[in-house]
Structure 1
Amino acid sequence: MSDTDLPEAEILFEVKGAAGVVTLNRPKALNALTLNMVRALDPQLRQWAEDPSIERIIVKGAGEKGFCAGGDIRALYDWGTTGDPLAVGFYEEEYKLNTFIKEYPKPYIALLDGITMGGGVGLSVHGSHRIATERLMFAMPETGIGLFPDVGGTYFLPRTPGETGMWLSLTGARLKAADALFAGIATQYIPSEQLETLEDALTVPGADIDVVLRDFAAGAGDSALEPLQADIARLFSADSVEAILAALEAEGSAWAAKQASTIRSKSPTSLKVAFRQMKVGAQASFRECMETEFRIVSRVMAGKDFYEGVRATIIDKDGAPNWQPDCLEAITDADIDAIFAPLPGGDIKLG
């Protein structure tokens, strides 16, 4: 086999000036995160953290459509349905990486140019700088596949304005650049046509990152989220998913009716898990949130809804998941308590 026949690496690393540059390199799959990518990125980040010549990290996605559209859910489905321990092992390695990014000792700059969901959020939102372009489409859509907004969603979502995190986690709503800035998910807006020049400026040794970003920053336009903020804060502050739905349905507006309809299409168990996450996470440290998520995912991957959600979404693509249980009323507080309970073997060791 010649070099030209070799499969291209899923993740690329390069030192450019004073920056360690990471390129997520699966553009045909919207740079979805695989276990191999996690296993390559974690040690590289640790090496660069100790290297005095590396002043900052830049993370980007190949292509123009996605930064990273999430985790490789087909692989997780295959592992889980065959009893492979990697179905949970993937999350253990991913959550350790998320924690290291959150605690990274150097500036960590993610270029959010395109779709950024799920696992891609975990690779970006915990870094010091999150640069949105006009192509950003941010979402945490996990309740629609029987999962839950993980990769640190328990921590960062409750810290968005008002009840924005509750709304995002229950509906899987999509945000554009101006919305992400308003929510604090992105820190700057820079047009995609400027990214290559920006990257060059960020690799200069001794460069002041905040000055560089200020020089490149532009206006992202008006946020569609901001005018909805008061309604979201009021309607999504109820004390249960059922009460939120009742408030939305009593509201009488087309927007509220659409939110209620969207929520009702999601996994009832996932909805109740996400609701509890937002309440627990608001009072917890980042590491406590990640320990909680590992407890949840260990139970979810042993259940049925994730596999049914993936079947309906990407395997059979019939869009008609058969959730079990199929209604919110069938899920008790005790059921959710059991999902959040400490694991018999103890909590994940985050490093």
Structure 2
Amino acid sequence: MKVRSWTDGTVGRLELDRPAALNALDLDMIRGLREALDRWRSDDDVAEVVITGAGGRAFCSGGDVRAAREAVLAGRAELADTFFAEEYALNGAIAELPKPYVAVIDGVAMGGGLGVSIHGSARVVTERAALAMPETALGFTPDVGSTYFLSHLDGDPAGAVGRYLALTGARIGAADALALGLATHFVPANAVDALLDDAGAEGTAAALARHAADPAEAGEPSLAPYRDRIEATFSAGTVTEILERLDDAGDDWAAGTAAALRIMCPTSLVVALELLKAGAASTLGQCLENELRAAVWLIARPDFAEGVRAVLVDKDRKASWSPARVDEVDAEQIRALLVPAPAAG
């Protein structure tokens, strides 16, 4: 079983158990998680849910996009469409669960790993946590509801930090996750087993009260020195303007950030920014719907197979994108894919 589910006292326990693949989610795992949540939703003996990842290296490294690529190349794109549709439905079900849902992020959590953690009521990080949405390097787009939660980060009213994380795929650690509200508690890795034992004995609230450390122990947020520059740059309305602002800045951080963006898939960058702009005025459900529309469109394009090849299959990091430049991407075509944001008021 790649997803283990059991009860410990009044806690429903979920464990992603595919450590050789860094607990990457495949369709069977998504269905296993959904089945357990649906079962426990109306079970009065289960008061809350806790999810962890096996193996010690990763909570969950994301969705299994290699399998999605293989389906597309085999002419079975509908299998990939089903994967994303069921994954996003799971994300929505987690957010709507009428019981506490606690994710313990110890290790890597990328892409789909954030989809099965960030929508919960409590998100615990250890000093080994590493969070990222790396999809723009894959010819894909940040998804799993990220265009909602990255548009509503703590202390980021303009959404600039969320845009920075989504477009660049930058990794952040526990300190940044706590500062941005992606995480709610910091627990040292060597205390996780005790936290889980106590959660089963007396519930997660009491266990967290005992084992959660001062967030300051997670260290200084790595993004803190760059927040002003991120705000000044990523508040721009188009990817082209973001790149122009970076080029005009002339410092090492700006040059490095511009270089990172220029490696990414141009179409993915434009799609991600349009999704994020829509997400700022949308509900999570609306964001998930738009992400699914974008996902189905993107996986049918050559850039998806090429990006996954370059990053995860051949690992040469030399993707050939079409179109090759951001200013060649038709943003209007992308906007036409999306459900219009609701009117203000």
- Which bracket does the TM-score occupy, shorter chain normalised? over 0.9
| Greater mean deviation of Cα atoms: 100-109 or 295-304 | 295-304
Identify unmatched segments of 5+ residues in structure 1. 1-8, 343-351
How far apart are residue 341 of structure 1 and its match?
Answer: 6.0
Report the secondary structure of 1:116's partner residue: strand
Out of 6, 15, 22, the residue aligned to residue 30 of structure 1 is 22
Out of 203, 207, 220, the residue aligned to residue 212 of structure 1 is 207
TM-score, with length taken from structure 1: 0.92
Matched, 1:188 2:180: no
User: What do the CA deviations read for 1:232-285 (whole angstroms, capped 9, x no partner)?
Assistant: 111111121111111111112111111110001000000000111111000001
What is the distance in 2 between the residues matched to 1:199 and 1:230? 39
User: What do the CA deviations read for 1:286-306 (whole angstroms, capped 9, x no partner)?
Assistant: 111111111111111211111
Find the counterpart in structure 1 of residue 86 from structure 2: 93
Out of 242, 264, 268, the residue aligned to residue 266 of structure 1 is 264
User: What do the CA deviations read for 1:300-337 (whole angstroms, capped 9, x no partner)?
Assistant: 12111111101111222221111111101111222222
Out of 49, 55, 60, the residue aligned to residue 57 of structure 1 is 49
Out of 5, 10, 14, the residue aligned to residue 2 of structure 2 is 10
What is the distance in 2 between the residues matched to 1:333 and 1:273? 8
Out of 120, 127, 133, the residue aligned to residue 113 of structure 2 is 120
Identify unmatched segments of 5+ residues in structure 2. 341-345
Q: Which amino acid is 2:36 matched to?
A: Q
Report the secondary structure of 2:151's partner residue: helix
How far apart are residue 87 of structure 1 and its match?
Answer: 1.1
Find the counterpart in structure 1 of residue 32 from structure 2: 40
What is the distance in 2 between the residues matched to 1:315 and 1:200? 39
After the TM superposition, list the runs of 4 or more consecutive aligned residues in structure 1 that deviate by more than 6 angstroms. none
What is the distance in 2 between the residues matched to 1:210 and 1:281? 31
Q: Which amino acid is 2:260 matched to?
A: T
User: What do the CA deviations read for 1:168-190 (whole angstroms, capped 9, x no partner)?
Assistant: 01100000100111111111110
Q: Which amino acid is 1:20 matched to?
A: G
What is the distance in 1 between the residues matched to 2:339 and 2:185? 38
How far apart are residue 227 of structure 1 and its match?
Answer: 2.5
User: What do the CA deviations read for 1:137-189 (whole angstroms, capped 9, x no partner)?
Assistant: 10000000000000001110011132110000110000010011111111111
How far apart are residue 92 of structure 1 and its match?
Answer: 0.7
What is the distance in 2 between the residues matched to 1:37 and 1:308? 25
Report the secondary structure of 1:175's partner residue: coil
What is the distance in 2 between the residues matched to 1:341 and 1:158? 17
What is the distance in 2 between the residues matched to 1:263 and 1:154? 18
TM-score, with length taken from structure 2: 0.94
How far apart are residue 224 of structure 1 and its match?
Answer: 1.2
Find the counterpart in structure 2 of residue 241 from structure 1: 239
What is the distance in 2 between the residues matched to 1:291 and 1:179? 28
Q: Which amino acid is 2:209 matched to?
A: R
What is the distance in 1 between the residues matched to 2:12 and 2:46? 6
Matched, 1:111 2:104: yes
How far apart are residue 192 of structure 1 and its match?
Answer: 0.7
What is the distance in 2 between the residues matched to 1:146 and 1:72? 14
Out of 212, 219, 222, the residue aligned to residue 221 of structure 1 is 219
Find the counterpart in structure 2 of residue 171 from structure 1: 168
Find the counterpart in structure 1 of residue 279 from structure 2: 281
What is the distance in 1 between the residues matched to 2:290 and 2:142? 12
Find the counterpart in structure 2 of residue 311 from structure 1: 309
| Greater mean deviation of Cα atoms: 154-163 or 55-64 | 154-163
What is the distance in 1 between the residues matched to 2:79 and 2:186? 37
Matched, 1:301 2:299: yes
What is the distance in 2 between the residues matched to 1:324 and 1:258? 23
Find the counterpart in structure 1 of residue 196 from structure 2: 199
Aligned partners of 2:274 and 2:335 also within 8 Å:
no
Aligned partners of 2:267 and 2:326 also within 8 Å:
yes
Aligned partners of 1:182 and 1:226 also within 8 Å:
no
Q: Which amino acid is 1:189 matched to?
A: F
Find the counterpart in structure 2 of residue 146 from structure 1: 139
Aligned partners of 1:16 and 1:203 also within 8 Å:
yes
Report the secondary structure of 1:64's partner residue: coil
Aligned partners of 2:111 and 2:134 also within 8 Å:
yes
Q: Which amino acid is 1:113 matched to?
A: D
User: What do the CA deviations read for 1:53-82 (whole angstroms, capped 9, x no partner)?
Assistant: 111101000011000000111110111111
- Distance verdict in 2 for CA 1:341–1:127, change over 3 Å: closer
What is the distance in 2 between the residues matched to 1:315 and 1:142? 15
